[in-house]
Structure 1
Amino acid sequence: MEIQHPQEQPLKPGEVRVRVSYVGICGTDKHLYGGQPGSGEARIPVILGHEISGIVDSLGSEIHSDLKIGDRVAIDPNIPCGVCRFCREGRPQLCENNQAVGVTRNGGMAEYVHVPETNVYKIPDGLSLKAAAMAEPVSCVVHGLDELDIKPHDTALVIGDGFIGQIFTLLLAQQGLKKVAVSGHNPKKIALLKKIGADEVFNPEKEEHSERYDLVIECVGLPNTQEQALTFAARGGQVLMFGVSNPDDTFTIKSYPIFFNELTVKGAFINPHAMQDAIHLMVAGADVESLITHEMQLEDIPDLLAGRIPEKITKAVVRVN
């Protein structure tokens, strides 16, 4: 079965065609490329790519917003149905019939992409298109932070020094918390993590660390780091499981500390109602673009997704047009 090129497809009512400028490469893309589920099951064949910025190229009929051809935009990939129980309760991230650009319908690893107008967000002139492609991952982090009850005197631990862990570190530091620490394994990232706001960076595999934290955010998705997240939580602490794990993975939980310490353990899935906040935070000074380590070309994508590029890549974007 062949994929029809987006340029050859007619726009449906309420749809917008966007000429893709940049598309980010996410761990979810690598999972889907390897035949694993990401944040959902892909409908194969499909063009991947859900971290997208670009220029409005064409408008379908029945457009009700002020979008116009030439607008610079970022795209929210998630398309909830609007009628299931969770959508009606205002929890579209749990939608029973969710579609997603780059997962269940063609995404941004192509010159053009079709999306509903409701998923297209204009970006201000002060925000680059490269940065705007990061609006989706930033919005997911914003939703994760919204799931927590954060107080200025809290201490926080981010487990994971990758791109998502870096965004959490950056946004937590901007909230003026008492302390933000990062647990990671790459000594080359220590300087960057401290530059964006980490008060302390440590490797739990190489050094003893007895401090406990009010907020613990797990950004890796491996059983050992998920177990660590619970052990690092202080009394009354909150633990956010944010890292995408293998669906078959399990880890051991000691139940008594959860009871005795009144721990709250939560998950955070995708990015409901968070795109505008993400765009605003980047415009207001959250320099997420500086966390991008590589800019690639469209022809690099297969090697990148298959892991055939030997360079250590924390975050890559592909410049499409």
Structure 2
Amino acid sequence: MKALVMTAVKHLEVQNDYKKPTPKPNELLIHTAWAGICGTDKALYNGLPGSADAVPPIVLGHENSGVVAAVGEDVEGFKVGDRVSVDPNIYCHKCYYCRTSRPELCEHLDAVGVTRDGGFAEFFTAPAEVVYHVPDNVSLEAAAVIEPISCAMHGVDLLETHPYQNALIIGDGFEGQLIAQILKARGVREVTLAGTVDEKLANNQKHFGFKVVNNLKHPEEIAKDGYDIVVEAVGLPATQEQAVEAARRGGQVLMFGVGNPDSTFKVNTYKVYQKQLHIQGSFINPYTFEDSIALLQSGDVDPLPLISNILDFAHVEDFVSGKLGNISKAIVKVAGEDA
């Protein structure tokens, strides 16, 4: 089968004779339709950690949709031809964190497209426990990004949301844009999206009605002490510090952006005390696929206007190496809707 293989750090290779996997008794074989490309894939390509370490040779691709091609002998509830999406994160169910209802912190995390072959291939396998049916009114293209929606959902789940609140999302990457939609769906009164790409900001204002601010050109438009909820979705010290400054008294700051492992930021500890801030991190997506699918099914979240680039295997390296810029969201068409 055809696959895009990371044979070494900073090297991807299209192979036409990669061995087609065989599902274990508890697994499904999935014919890939679409595979999203994530900032985590950029990190893994550059030798940085994602949810776990990716050791070459490996087929990346942890955001996937497809059609069931074969069913392991112990699997129930699925049949060949079912349209599905896959939560890549596989928990051990045995460690301290799994046994205390915090599986996202699992000490033995396994992940499709990170520690085992993923969706940058014509076929991949996954345990049935992490595979979800896709509703008829949701396209496989949209279903390929249920995983990033579910990560955004987990972040929002960690917040206490109310209709009276106003929210600021710093960062116009795909996750920041999704978080803005989910907060709006949760009934938050006013959502402001701050970013650096005018085209992305205008697109979000047009499709979803968000207030928008170009954080490079007009940072003064972001009010200090002005927001009940501030989501930092960039991962840079400057925007992390800005997030703390922007939160009002009693505010919540969600540090969602993935920073460099060696980065730090300064925080005025008196302001954290005096404003009684709640500062929260967010990691992956524990059991948020069902809610994410429901948001897609209802239309309360629509990722399709955010997808800016459809690539083939040969051009994925252009994206993860940084040759392609100003991308809202890129996905790989493997078999497409014909899977």
Question: TM-score, normalization: structure 1?
Answer: 0.95
What residue in structure 1 maps to residue 63 of structure 2? 51
- Residue of structure 2 aligned with 1:176, choices 161, 175, 187: 187
- Residue of structure 2 aligned with 1:115, choices 126, 129, 151: 126
Paired positions, count: 318
Distance, in Å, in 1 between the alignment partners of 2:198 and 2:323 is: 24
SS in 2 for 1:58: strand
Does residue 298 of the first structure (1) align with residue 313 of the second (2)? yes
What runs of 5+ residues in structure 2 fail to find an aligned partner?
A: 1-5, 8-14
- Deviation, 1:290, is 1.8
Q: Which amino acid aligns with 1:59?
A: V
Conserved in 2, the CA contact under 8 Å of 1:190 and 1:201? yes
Distance, in Å, in 1 between the alignment partners of 2:302 and 2:234 is: 22
Conserved in 2, the CA contact under 8 Å of 1:154 and 1:214? yes
- Deviation, 1:6, is 5.0
Distance, in Å, in 2 between the alignment partners of 1:246 and 1:255 is: 22
Change (3 A) 1:82 1:246: same
What runs of 5+ residues in structure 1 fail to find an aligned partner?
A: none
SS in 2 for 1:121: strand
What residue in structure 1 maps to residue 164 of structure 2? 153
Q: What is the correspondence of 1:80-159 to structure 2 with a 5 Å cutoff?
A: 80-159=91-170
Distance, in Å, in 2 between the alignment partners of 1:11 and 1:167 is: 33
Conserved in 2, the CA contact under 8 Å of 1:134 and 1:289? no
Does residue 259 of the first structure (1) align with residue 262 of the second (2)? no
Q: Which amino acid aligns with 1:240?
A: L
What residue in structure 2 maps to residue 21 of structure 1? 33
What residue in structure 1 maps to residue 240 of structure 2? 226
Change (3 A) 1:197 1:10: closer
Change (3 A) 1:199 1:307: closer
More divergent stretch after superposition (230-239 vs 175-184): 175-184
Measured against aligned partners, the alpha-carbon deviations of 1:201-243 in whole angstroms (never above 9, x if no partner) come to: 1134433233510000011111111111100001000000111
Q: Which amino acid aligns with 1:241?
A: M
Conserved in 2, the CA contact under 8 Å of 1:169 and 1:198? no
Does residue 189 of the first structure (1) align with residue 200 of the second (2)? yes
Distance, in Å, in 2 between the alignment partners of 1:21 and 1:102 is: 15
More divergent stretch after superposition (85-94 vs 294-303): 294-303
- Deviation, 1:29, is 0.2
SS in 1 for 2:208: coil
Q: Which amino acid aligns with 2:265?
A: F
Measured against aligned partners, the alpha-carbon deviations of 1:58-109 in whole angstroms (never above 9, x if no partner) come to: 111211x310000000000000100001111111101000001111111110
Distance, in Å, in 2 between the alignment partners of 1:70 and 1:14 is: 17
Measured against aligned partners, the alpha-carbon deviations of 1:236-267 in whole angstroms (never above 9, x if no partner) come to: 00000111111001111110010111100001
Distance, in Å, in 2 between the alignment partners of 1:266 and 1:69 is: 42
Q: Which amino acid aligns with 2:166?
A: T
Measured against aligned partners, the alpha-carbon deviations of 1:26-52 in whole angstroms (never above 9, x if no partner) come to: 000011011111232113221100000
Conserved in 2, the CA contact under 8 Å of 1:75 and 1:120? yes
What residue in structure 2 maps to residue 238 of structure 1? 252
Conserved in 2, the CA contact under 8 Å of 1:169 and 1:197? no
Conserved in 1, the CA contact under 8 Å of 2:162 and 2:187? no
Does residue 217 of the first structure (1) align with residue 228 of the second (2)? no
CA RMSD between the two structures: 1.7
More divergent stretch after superposition (291-300 vs 138-147): 291-300
SS in 2 for 1:37: coil
